[in-house]
């Protein structure tokens, strides 16, 4: 039997860093949004013990170091279910190392599938706790939709969905290390912070203009010069009619928000002439039935 789940990518409508914590992580305040760009995750229980991961990208790890395998191990530890042998297959559609939670989302999909198979009574909170031990974004990826993520990113508050719009995502060919980018941040020296409460109000009012006006990611403030492409994609998107444009997570993917399909499609086409990874997407609402 094969069990499948889509693993949706996320974008950060806002990303704020509030402080460095004694455990080395940072306290964050982020408004997260799932989009309809998804990896396909398939899990098949098997006789043989252990967990084998296969993916259609040859450089992804196949052993226990893959986040999908870590999620499986953590599921069995947390649930008390005796570990089963598993084959996990991943079809990557989310750009890798882009700031779109591709790995976290695969881990989250594995957790959702294993709960379905082995522990349907497991409460959401416990599944998210297992997710938080695997990665800071995993709890959010378990539930998806529009949400405020705080503390390490694992404390979640569901938010009203973003009004219908089009999102153009473009990833430059560089990649940015998340821990290295966090290491660049001196919280007191950050020049601007997003207006997160204004963003929450705009979501409540379903005011797309107000939402677009408040899109902001503090990482852009500390981005080393060698990632200048991020800023040129942002200005391209704005020049092509985006209501707002921002880097997502620790980058380097950049997204633009468009009200109309036509202008979004034109922008995606124009950027495709210059960049290999460009996607035209929609927002997705919370997708796990347990979290609705
Ligand atoms: O939790 P996760 O493994 O996804 O985090 C990757 C890295 O990002 C951490 O090792 C840490 O350097 C940084 N991080 C942080 N504060 C957070 C989340 C991540 O400093 N809230």
Query: Residues 76-107: pLDDT tens digits?
Result: 999 999 999 999 999 999 999 999 999 999 99
Instruction: Please check whether residue 282 is in contact with residue 36, taking contact to mean a CB–CB distance below 8 angstroms.
Output: yes
- Report the nearest atom of ligand 1 relative to the CA of 183: 12
Quick one: pLDDT at residue 292? 39
Q: How far apart are CA 207 and CA 224, in angstroms?
A: 33
pLDDT at 288 over 60: no
Better pLDDT: 280 or 61: 280
Judge if the beta carbon of residue 153 lies within 6 A of ligand 1.
Answer: yes
Quick one: pLDDT at residue 111? 98
Mean pLDDT, residues 279-284:
96
**Which of 74, 149, 176, 178 most suits a substitution to test ligand 1, by most atoms within 8 Å of the C-beta?**
178
Quick one: pLDDT at residue 286? 84
Q: How far apart are CA 141 and CA 107, in angstroms?
A: 8
Mean pLDDT, residues 207-236:
97
Q: How far is the CA of 129 from the centre of ligand 1 (A)?
A: 16
C-alpha distance from residue 12 to each of 17, 43, 248, 250 (Å) = 13, 28, 5, 10
Query: Residues 237-266: pLDDT tens digits?
Result: 999 999 999 999 999 999 999 999 999 999
């Amino acid at each position: 039997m094969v069990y499948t789940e889509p693993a949706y990518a996320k974008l950060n409508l806002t990303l704020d860093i509030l402080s460095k914590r004694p455990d080395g992580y940072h306290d964050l305040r982020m408004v997260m949004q799932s989009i309809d760009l998804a990896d396909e995750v398939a899990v098949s229980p098997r006789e043989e013990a252990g967990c084998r991961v296969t993916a259609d990208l040859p450089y992804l790890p196949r052993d226990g170091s893959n986040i999908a395998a870590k999620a499986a191990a953590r599921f069995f530890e947390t649930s008390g279910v005796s570990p089963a042998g598993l084959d996990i297959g991943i079809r990557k559609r989310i750009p890798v190392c882009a700031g779109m939670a591709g790995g976290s989302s695969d881990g989250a999909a594995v957790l959702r599938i294993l709960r379905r198979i082995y522990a349907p009574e497991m409460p959401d909170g416990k599944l998210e706790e297992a997710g938080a031990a695997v990665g800071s974004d995993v709890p959010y990826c378990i539930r998806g939709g529009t949400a405020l993520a705080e503390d390490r990113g694992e404390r979640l508050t569901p938010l009203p969905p973003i009004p219908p719009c089009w999102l153009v995502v473009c990833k430059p060919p560089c990649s940015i290390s998340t821990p290295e980018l966090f290491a660049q941040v001196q919280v007191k020296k950050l020049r601007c912070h997003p207006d997160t409460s204004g963003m929450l109000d705009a979501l409540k009012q379903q005011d797309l203009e107000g939402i677009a006006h408040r899109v902001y990611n503090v990482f852009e403030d500390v981005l080393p010069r060698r990632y200048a492409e991020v800023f040129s994609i942002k200005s391209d998107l704005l020049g092509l009619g985006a209501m707002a444009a921002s880097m997502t997570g620790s980058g380097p993917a950049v997204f633009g928000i468009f009200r109309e399909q036509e202008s979004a499609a034109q922008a995606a086409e124009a950027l495709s002439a210059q960049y290999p990874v460009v996607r035209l997407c929609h927002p997705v609402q919370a997708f796990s039935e347990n979290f609705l």
